[in-house]
Each structure stands twice: as C-alpha cells, then as structure tokens.
C-alpha cells in the first residue's frame, strides 16, 4: 500500500468528489432490492452494516458561478 491508496470511506468519497468537481459530471445508479454490506473500517475483521437500496442514486457536480 502506498500513501496515495484510499484507507477509509470518507477519503474515498472525498477523492471521488475531487475527481468529478468542475466537470459537470453526473453518475446515476438504479437499484432494485440491492443489498450492500458496509464495513465499519478497512480492517479485514471489520463489522458490517447491511444497507438495502431500491431506487435511484445520483451523484452530481457542477462548476460554481
């Protein structure tokens, strides 16, 4: 692992936002009864919370005026 590798969820979210900001980007996901186990950390023995998604998730960025 190098210093530039993502080690936690907030860092991953921030990196994604930084990549999209200023590009007027939109990512749209459609889910139908999708289950996702979210780890509490990046450790191999991390506990997980189950999220259930049904519908649309959109991530948008745009240039500020």
Q: Please state the domain count of the chain.
A: 1
Model confidence at 47: pLDDT above 90: yes
In a domain, 52, yes or no: yes
What band does 60 get if pLDDT is binned at 50, 70 and 90? confident
- Domain of 59, in residue numbers: 25-65
From residue 32, give the alpha-carbon distance in Å to each of 49, 54, 57.
Answer: 19, 5, 11
Whether residue 19 lies inside any domain: the answer is no
Q: Is residue 55 part of a domain?
A: yes
Is there a domain that residue 46 lies in? yes
**Token digits for 19?**
């990549």
Q: Which of 14-23, 34-43, 44-53, 54-63 has the lowest mean pLDDT?
A: 14-23
């Amino acid at each position: 692992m190098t210093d530039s590798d993502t080690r936690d969820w907030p860092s991953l979210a921030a990196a994604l936002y930084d990549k999209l900001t200023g590009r007027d980007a939109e990512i749209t996901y459609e889910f139908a009864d999708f289950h996702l186990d979210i780890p509490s950390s990046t450790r191999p023995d991390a506990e997980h919370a189950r999220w259930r998604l049904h519908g649309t998730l959109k991530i948008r960025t745009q240039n500020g005026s």
